[in-house]
Structure 1
Amino acid sequence: MARIKKSRVIQRAPSFSGFKPFGIQTSSGEEVVLHLEEYESIKLCDYDHLTHEQAAKAMNVSRPTFTRVYQSARNKIARAFVEASGIRLEGGHSIVGINWYSCSCCEISFSCVTDDQPACPFCLSVNLSNVEQQ
């Protein structure tokens, strides 16, 4: 019997639902479905410049699992790019979970990728309180 997949934590769902190739009338390939955890893996590694180890911790998965998700995302994006296919973002095994904190020194609110001793990004204070999201 196969093990139930563990939900992958994504920090925030994207504000768009996909991409379409520019400059062609019709797509030559089928639309590629990029799961939300695959989108998150690309964001964490290529946009936020985290290592696979750091990104895996942020998504609450093992490093080998993260690497498989990341490789799947890269393969899908490459296929869409080469075949001039659209990319649709949806589904997967993910939950949106982000930690928001409030700094008691400079009174700003910010999000943090991990729970490991967060510090204010502006004043570097560790005197923080958790802020509940609505």
Structure 2
Amino acid sequence: MARIKKKRLVQMAPGFGGFKPFGVLCKKEDKILINIEEYEALKLCDYEDLTQAEAAKLMNISRPTFTRIYESVRSKIAQAFIEGLPIIYEGGDSLIAEWYTCDKCEIIFTLKDGGEMNCPLCRNKEITLNKFE
């Protein structure tokens, strides 16, 4: 029997739906699909400059699993660049962390499990849960 697939923790989903190449007419069915956990893996390693071990820990997965996800997204991006195909973000098997905004100092932050429900900067108890849709 197959092992149950673990949900990957994503800190924040992208604020846009993908990319389209400039100056190329693409058929509607020609596109590269990148799921949210692939986006997160690329962001953690190539944008935030974390090691694969550090990024795997943040995503709550093993390092070998992280490596497979990371190699998959890099291959897809290379294909999109070489073939001039649009990149579209899609779902995936992930959980998005809850982000809060302090009503007083307006910083955005996340809370650890069991953490106090107040702003880590000014200790204000009036915070708002952000809804990313």
Q: TM-score, normalised by structure 1?
A: 0.74
Change (3 A) 1:84 1:54: same
**Structure 1 unmatched runs, 5+:** 116-124
Aligned to 2:81: 81
Pairing 1:6-85 to 2, within 5 Å after superposition: 6-26=6-26, 30-85=30-85
Instruction: Say which SS state the counterpart of residue 33 (structure 1) adopts.
Output: strand
Q: CA deviation at 1:4?
A: 1.7
Change (3 A) 1:63 1:100: farther
Q: CA deviation at 1:111?
A: 3.1
Change (3 A) 1:64 1:126: farther
Q: Which amino acid aligns with 1:32?
A: I
Cα root mean square deviation, aligned? 2.8
Change (3 A) 1:129 1:63: farther
Structure 1: how far apart are the matches of 2:57 and 2:36? 17
Which of 105, 109, 112 aligns to 1:111? It is 109
Q: CA deviation at 1:30?
A: 2.2
**Structure 2 unmatched runs, 5+:** 113-119
Change (3 A) 1:63 1:128: farther
8 A Cα contact 2:80 2:87, kept in partner: yes
Aligned to 1:133: 129
CA offsets 1:53-74 (integer angstroms, 9 cap, x no match): 1111111111111111000000
Q: Which amino acid aligns with 2:54?
A: Q
Q: TM-score, normalised by structure 2?
A: 0.74
8 A Cα contact 2:101 2:129, kept in partner: no
Structure 2: how far apart are the matches of 1:49 and 1:129? 32
